[in-house]
Structure 1
Amino acid sequence: MIRGTEAVSRVDHCISAHVSAEHDHRRALAAMSATALLELEMGLCEGTGAPLAAVLARTALHIHDRASAGSFLPPSSDPLL
């Protein structure tokens, strides 16, 4: 991890996958003014935060794209409308 004021200028292009269950991880993210995508109380050494966040972000984008194209909208003849 980058220490001190260098951290802020070097992580502008980074995405924080998750906030770890360890207290120091939350403090490190706060020091870098970083916001994590997930907060699932996972341990820092499990190696699961980034892959899980990537899959969830990709899935959300796919759902958004499909909904924008109108494929998730009910037909106009739907009696519930």
Structure 2
Amino acid sequence: MAKLIIYLILAIAILLFALQNNVPVVIDLIFLPPVQMPMILVLALAFFSGFIAALFSVARITMKKKNREQIEYHPK
């Protein structure tokens, strides 16, 4: 029950943050024309891009560890 209350408070805080940051910003892309979008969308895209990059990094490290363990247990 305590986790649910914490998650609810966190969700409300994120919602308030999103509602505060709906100001349009212009993003200048290197090879494309500038794009205008709400700031919260830019923040969300940056967050999820970093999250996905971290997931791939952790998955790569985990796979390397598993391969190393298999080689140690089953030498050729």
Shorter-chain-normalised TM-score: which range? 0.3 to 0.5
Higher RCO (CA 8 Å, separation ≥ 6 residues): 1
Provide the TM-score with structure 2 as the length reference.
0.36
Bigger Cα Rg = 2
